[in-house]
Amino acid sequence: MTREEVNTPWNPVHCQVLTSNILEALMEGRIPAVQVEPFCNANQMTLLQKAISPLSFEDYVVPPVGRVGPSHYEFRENLEKYLALSAGSKHRFEKLWSESFDVIAVVKELLKEASGYPVEVAKSEDGHEYSTCVIRKISYGALPHVDYAPYDVPDWSVGRISHQLSWNLYVSTPDCGGEIKIYNRCWQKSDLGYREQESYAYSRDLFRDCQNVTIHVKSGDFLLINPRYYHEVIPSGPGQNRITISSFAGLFDSSNSWVLWA
């Protein structure tokens, strides 16, 4: 651990209004996470939970994570398939927002207000929209990993972003477990040697001695993280579900603009 790490507390920031200073601190890794509260009111959250309850989730990765809508990581070798699934899930998300509230519009407004930069849904070079978000059931946890499009999908339009953030709106949370744990270590290419076989996970040897925070999330919370920093989700208690709506926000320094995609 460096002297800087010992002396600097690395704590999540809570705010009612997101600012450009907070976004900058997150992008530079000076803070591990930002919680914006309130994101919506209790009635909106109840409507969202009700609208999501009939949806069926498809499992991917190990341990299984259920998803509604494609996640780019799963289709990183097949942009065409990802775009077709994105188009196919568009009406499903729109129906969901019409039954509750437009989560994507709120996220776009938050980022636009804080940065002063426009926020659009990411598109392929030939103009096809990426998926705006993914709804996930991460009840069995997520192994330590990073999300970084310039490495994961270098040939996609989002592979050229300058900074990546990840947002999660927690729809249902378990009474026990379900925390997100973030480590003060930013992914670098030399970490690839620590990648677990046949998995998205990395070895804990990489960040065993790093500062870390464990964030207890609850229904209605909205969290922004810098997913280039190692993070994991603790499994939920037996039989308890953890449902989130999330996507990535990528900033292009060249055009001072944001894109959203899942």
Nearest residue to Fe ion by CB is 147
Q: Which stretch binds Fe ion (CB under 5 A): 77-85, 124-132, 223-231, 232-240?
A: 223-231
Among 74, 147, 179, 232, contact with Fe ion (rule: CB under 5 A): 147
Contact flags string 176-215 toward ligand AKG, x per CB under 6 A: ----x-----------------------------------
Task: Decide if residue 138 touches ligand AKG (CB under 6 A).
Answer: yes
* Closest-CA residue to 170 (of 223, 131, 237, 214): 223
Task: Decide if residue 232 touches Fe ion (CB under 5 A).
Answer: no
Contacts of 131 (CB under 8 A, 6+ apart): 69, 70, 71, 72, 82, 85, 86, 89, 90, 247, 261, 262
Task: Decide if residue 74 touches Fe ion (CB under 5 A).
Answer: no
Number of residues forming the site for ligand AKG (CB under 6 A): 11
Among 131, 172, 173, 244, contact with ligand AKG (rule: CB under 6 A): 244
Query: Residues in the site for ligand AKG, rule: CB under 6 A?
Result: 138, 142, 147, 166, 168, 180, 227, 231, 233, 244, 246
